[in-house]
Amino acid sequence: MLAIYLSTPEVENDRRALNTFHGMRRAKKEGRLMGIAPYGYINRSHEDGKKYIAIKQPEASNLIWAFNEVAKGHIPTDHVRVQMNKRDGSSMSRSAFSKAMRNSVYCGKIYIENYKQEEAYHIDGKHEALISERLFNQVQLVMGKKRKVEGPGSRVLGNERFPLRGLLTCPNCGKNLTASGAKGKSKTYYYYYYYYYYHCHYKCGFRFDSDKLNELFETEICKLEFNPIIKDLLKSILLDNYK
Q: Per-domain residue ranges for the chain? A: 31-144, 160-224
Superfamily of domain 31-144: Putative Large Serine Recombinase; Chain B, Domain 2 (3.90.1750.20)
Rg value, the chain, Cα: 26
| pTM value > 0.75 | no
Q: Considering only CA atoms, which of 201, 204, 193, 199 is closest in space to residue 164?
A: 199
Strands (DSSP E) contained in the chain are: 41-45, 51-55, 109-112, 121-124, 178-185, 192-199, 207-209
Mode of pairing for the β-strands spanning 41-45 and 178-185: unpaired
* Rounded-to-integer distance, Cα 133 and Cα 33, Å: 17
Task: List alpha helices for 107-209, DSSP H.
Answer: 133-144
User: What is the tens place of the pLDDT at every residue in 113-152?
Assistant: 787 777 887 888 888 999 999 999 999 888 876 444 444 4
The distance between the two most distant Cα atoms of the chain, rounded to a whole number of Å, is: 96
Give residue 202's region: left, alpha or beta (phi > 0; psi -120 to 50). Answer: alpha
Cα–Cα distance list, 56 to 44, 73, 82, 158 (Å): 11, 26, 20, 31
User: With contact defined as beta carbons under 8 Å apart, do 156 and 75 qualify?
Assistant: no
Per-residue pLDDT 10s for the chain (243 aa) are: 545 555 566 656 666 766 666 666 776 777 778 778 899 999 988 888 778 889 999 999 999 999 999 998 877 888 899 999 999 999 999 899 999 999 999 998 888 878 777 788 788 888 899 999 999 999 988 887 644 444 444 444 456 677 887 788 888 888 888 888 766 555 443 444 567 888 888 788 888 888 888 888 888 888 877 777 787 887 888 777 665
